[in-house]
Amino acid sequence: VLSMSSSKNIFMIEKKKTELYQELGLQARDLRFQHVMSIATRNNRIIMRMEFLKAVITPEFLLILDYRNVSLEHWLLNELASQLAGEGQLVTYSLPFEFRAIEAILQYWISKLQGRLNTLQPQILEILEALVDPKLLSVDRSKLHILLQNGKSLSELETDVKVFKETILEILDEEEVIEELCLSKWTDPQVFEESTSGIDHAEEMELLLENYYRQAEDLLNEARELRVLIDDSESIIFINLDSHRNVMMRLNLQLTMGTFSVSLFGLIGVAFGMNLESSLEEDPRIFWLMTGIMFLGSGLIWRRLLSFLGRHLDPPLPPHVPAGLKKSQPAAGRVEIKTSLKGETFGLNRSTLTNQ
């Protein structure tokens, strides 16, 4: 257990769970921390579960349970003490200790989620920029594998942010729970008098929670935009691949039609290449004549097949609209305006001629 107070006193102790919940006046189930996220109050104690971060807040000190974590120890030793002392808090006036403790834990968790997003975002954008290139005829499987892993990490991040939002929203929907989170209001009479004289601690707690709720909502919106960008990029990749595939299929079809055309008129050469005697093989001009007919006929047939292919692959023309449907009231208005303009022009010309 790591114990910290507002005076920056830090104590690291080891205790059995039974001794700890007896000293705090809690039940055994209150310290049965699991990797879940929740904020609850019991016996003037605030129990915060932020997955691996498990804390118990009292009006005098903050207890961090099972804090043996590399990133958690760095935060505990370097940042938490100054935050509990009131340095860098949202408001200028002093608030009770539990406000600073809740704010420090929520700030740590939202910063951790933001750091995960800042790590994923440049990697995903770099991979998408490389995959969406229209010049690529194939897709690098290694980059797709990295994109799949980053997509899974992004889904996990979205889930964690949603759970964080729902946890805060559950408290914001219950005014009694917000009142219970203000521990010093009920234990210290002086704090209660200050709250009645102008500072409403329940409203301050609500504002504190709403601030981190909005931060979580903004973080979730950024993650969703990145998810939409991944989906759109996948659609673009599939479109590019389909386009290249269609080009290859069309080229293959054109070559097949060209082969068919050459083979069709190649039968003439096959017929003349047989061991048959006639008077045509004695004329030296017959070879060039037959060769020209074969190439010309093959070209004409191939051209005819290409035009047939183009008519069936081109998009259809829009349906014909009858002339009666094209006439509308605005068009008639324009005709009237043009007629009036013509009348004014003619009248101007006549007056000019009269003056002259």
CA 64, distance to chain mean position in Å, is 35
Asked whether residue 8 is domain-assigned, the answer is yes
CA 350/CA 346 separation, integer angstroms: 6
* Whether residues 68 and 105 fall in one domain: yes
Asked whether residue 336 is domain-assigned, the answer is no
Asked whether residue 259 is domain-assigned, the answer is yes
- The range of the structural domain enclosing residue 289 comes to 245-273+285-308
- Domain harbouring 127, CATH code: 1.20.58.340
Q: For residue 219, which amino acid is it? A: L
Asked whether residue 355 is domain-assigned, the answer is no
* Whether residues 137 and 267 fall in one domain: no
* Whether residues 99 and 185 fall in one domain: yes
* Whether residues 126 and 7 fall in one domain: yes
Asked whether residue 314 is domain-assigned, the answer is no
* Whether residues 239 and 266 fall in one domain: no
Asked whether residue 324 is domain-assigned, the answer is no
List C-alpha distances in Å: 273 to 213, 257, 290. Answer: 88, 24, 11
Question: 3-class SS at 57?
Answer: strand
* Cβ contacts of 119-122, under 8 Å, gap ≥ 24: 120/150, 120/153, 120/154, 120/157, 120/226, 121/222, 121/226
CA 49/CA 27 separation, integer angstroms: 16
* Whether residues 200 and 129 fall in one domain: yes
Number of folded domains that form the chain: 2
Asked whether residue 57 is domain-assigned, the answer is yes
Question: 3-class SS at 48?
Answer: strand
* Whether residues 42 and 169 fall in one domain: yes
Tokens of 275: 């061991």
* Whether residues 229 and 252 fall in one domain: no
Asked whether residue 331 is domain-assigned, the answer is no
Residues 158-168: tens digit of each pLDDT: 999 999 999 99
* Whether residues 264 and 156 fall in one domain: no
Tokens of 167: 């946890």
CA 115/CA 106 separation, integer angstroms: 14
Residue 40, number of CB atoms within 10 A of its CB? 15
Q: Show Cβ contacts of residue 187 under 8 Å, excluding neighbours closer than 6 positions.
A: 44, 59
CA 356/CA 346 separation, integer angstroms: 15
* Whether residues 269 and 195 fall in one domain: no
Model pTM above 0.75: no
Residues 129-143: tens digit of each pLDDT: 887 766 665 667 788
* Whether residues 129 and 174 fall in one domain: yes
Contact between residue 61 and residue 80 where contact means Cβ atoms under 8 Å apart: no
* Whether residues 258 and 236 fall in one domain: no
Closest CA to 75 of 4, 160, 167: 4
- What element of type H or E holds 55? strand 53-57
pLDDT in tens, the chain (356 residues): 888 877 767 788 888 888 887 888 887 777 776 677 888 888 888 888 888 888 888 888 888 887 776 567 777 777 777 777 766 554 445 778 888 889 889 998 999 999 999 999 999 888 888 877 666 656 677 887 888 888 899 999 999 999 999 999 999 988 888 888 888 776 665 655 555 555 677 888 889 999 999 999 999 999 999 999 888 887 777 777 777 788 788 878 878 877 777 777 777 767 666 666 666 667 777 777 777 887 787 778 777 777 776 665 555 445 554 554 444 444 444 444 344 434 444 444 444 434 44
Closest CA to 195 of 204, 91, 207: 204
